[in-house]
Amino acid sequence: MTINHNGSAAGLAVEAKNMNVYYGSFRAVKDISLKIERNSITALIGPSGCGKSTVLRSFNRMNDLVPSARVEGEILFQGNNIYAENVDPVEVRRRIGMVFQKPNPFPKSIYENVAWGARINGFKGNMDELVEQSLHHAALWDEVKDKLDQSGLSLSGGQQQRLCIARTIAVKPEIILMDEPASALDPIATLRIEDLIRELKKEYTILIVTHNMQQAARASDYTAFFNMDSDRAGYLVEFSETDEIFTNPKHELTEQYITGRFG
Amino acid sequence: MTSTELNTSSESVVFSVADKGEMPGNYAARKRKNQIMEGILFLAILMALIPLALILFEVIRRGASAMNFEFLTSVQNISLIREGGGYLNGLFGTLYMVGIASLIAVPLGVATATYVVEYSNSKLVPFIQFFTDVMTGVPSIFVGLFVYTILVQGDSIFGGFSTLAGGLGLSLIMIPIIARASEEVIRLVPDDLRNAAYGLGARRWQVVMQIVLPTAASGLITASMLAVARAAGETAVLLLTALGAFKIVPELLGSPQAALPLIIFNEARGPFEPAHARAWAGALELMLLVLLLTLIARYIGRKTQV
Q: CA neighbours within 13 Å on the CB side: how many for A85? A: 0
Q: What are phi and psi of A34, to 5 degrees?
A: -150, 130
Q: Number of A:B CB contacts under 8 A?
A: 71
State whether A108 and B306 contact (CB < 8 Å). Answer: yes
β-partners of residue B243 are B257
Give 3-state DSSP helix, strand, coil % of chain B, rounded to 5: 70, 0, 30
Neighbours of A115 (CB within 10 A): 21
Question: What is the dihedral sign for C-alpha A107, A110, A116, A117?
Answer: positive
Query: How many angstroms separate the CA atoms of B83 and B80, rounded?
Result: 8
β-partners of residue A72 are A20
Q: What is the pLDDT of residues A139-197, one digit of tens each?
A: 999 999 999 999 999 999 999 999 999 999 999 999 999 999 998 889 998 999 999 99
Query: How many angstroms separate the CA atoms of A34 and B202, rounded?
Result: 27
Pick from A216, B129, B298: nearest CA to A206: A216
Neighbours of B191 (CB within 10 A): 10
Of chain B, the percentage scoring pLDDT greater than 70 comes to 92
Q: What is the mean pLDDT of chain B?
A: 91
pLDDT of residue A6: 42
pLDDT of residue B48: 96
State whether A167 and B200 contact (CB < 8 Å). Answer: yes
How confident is residue B14, by pLDDT bands cut at 50, 70 and 90? Answer: low
For testing the chain B interface, which of A53, A65, A147, A161 should be mutated: the one with the most B CBs within 10 Å?
A65
Task: Provide the ipTM.
Answer: 0.91
Q: Closest chain A residue to B210 measured between Cα atoms?
A: A116
Q: With a cut of 70, say whether residue A3 has pLDDT above it.
A: no
Q: Closest chain B residue to A164 measured between Cα atoms?
A: B196
State whether A120 and B200 contact (CB < 8 Å). Answer: yes
Give 3-state DSSP helix, strand, coil % of chain A, rounded to 5: 35, 25, 35
Pairing, β A12-23 against β A69-77 = antiparallel
* A207-232 b/e (C-beta count within 10 Å ≥ 16 → b): bbbbebbebbbebbbbbbbbbbeeee
Residue with the larger pLDDT of the pair A57 and A8: A57
State whether B203 and A90 contact (CB < 8 Å). Answer: yes
A-chain residues near B190 (CB < 8 A) = 104
Chain B positions contacting chain A at CB under 8 Å are: 121, 190, 192-203, 206, 210-211, 214-215, 305-306
User: Domain B73-303: what homologous superfamily?
Assistant: MetI-like (1.10.3720.10)
Pick from B1, B237, B213: nearest CA to B100: B237
Pairing, β A12-23 against β A234-241 = unpaired
